[in-house]
Copies of this chain bind each other. A is one copy, B any other.
Amino acid sequence: MPTMTAADRRGEAKREYDAYVANCPSRMLLDRMSDKWVALILVALGDRTMRYSELSRAVAGVSQKMLTQTLRTLERDGLVTREVTVSVPVRVDYSLTPLGLSLRQLMRGVKDWAEVHMDEVFEARERYDHRDDEQ
């Protein structure tokens, strides 16, 4: 739907999108949001506004390139606000928009799920790797 304006789209039913359809834009959005960096950044920002350097420390192991790129995408998609304060040095703060906060609740659930069920997954892997090779 490249020729539609936002107003056109707003006029349509909310649930016109279906991620099961290969070329539906919501499939691409689901793909983009299904990302560990997105999850970790959104969950971290859910607690408070953070500077770039704080986020970088909070999300251990993220490269500067990946953090910058993910933040820019989240800002463009309306999930994150980037606020520049003119000072020396320049201060850049990131926080969640209401839309970002709504996704954050879900992402927190996924992150928590991974932490809480890690042992069960380990056990399942052991069973799988040591099962009889009859199948």
- Choose from B25, B106, B120 the contact partner of A118 (Cβ within 8 Å): B25
A57 → B minimal CB distance (Å): 10
Q: List 20 A-B contacts (CB under 8 A).
A: A6-B126, A14-B119, A15-B115, A17-B116, A19-B114, A20-B59, A21-B60, A26-B115, A27-B61, A31-B36, A33-B110, A33-B114, A34-B38, A34-B110, A75-B128, A76-B124, A78-B124, A84-B135, A99-B117, A106-B113
- A residues lining the B interface (CB < 8 Å): 6, 9-10, 14-15, 17-23, 25-27, 29-31, 33-36, 38-40, 44, 58-61, 75-79, 82, 84, 99, 102-103, 106-107, 109-111, 113-129, 135
Q: Report the Cα distance A113→B78, complex, angstroms.
A: 14
Task: Indicate if the CB atoms of A106 and B102 lie closer than 8 Å.
Answer: no
8 more A-B residue pairs beyond the given contacts A17-B115, A22-B60, A79-B124, with a C-beta to C-beta distance below 8 A: A22-B61, A30-B40, A33-B114, A76-B125, A78-B120, A78-B121, A82-B135, A102-B113
Determine the main DSSP class of A at the interface with B. Answer: helix
CB-CB < 8 A to A75: which residues of B? 128
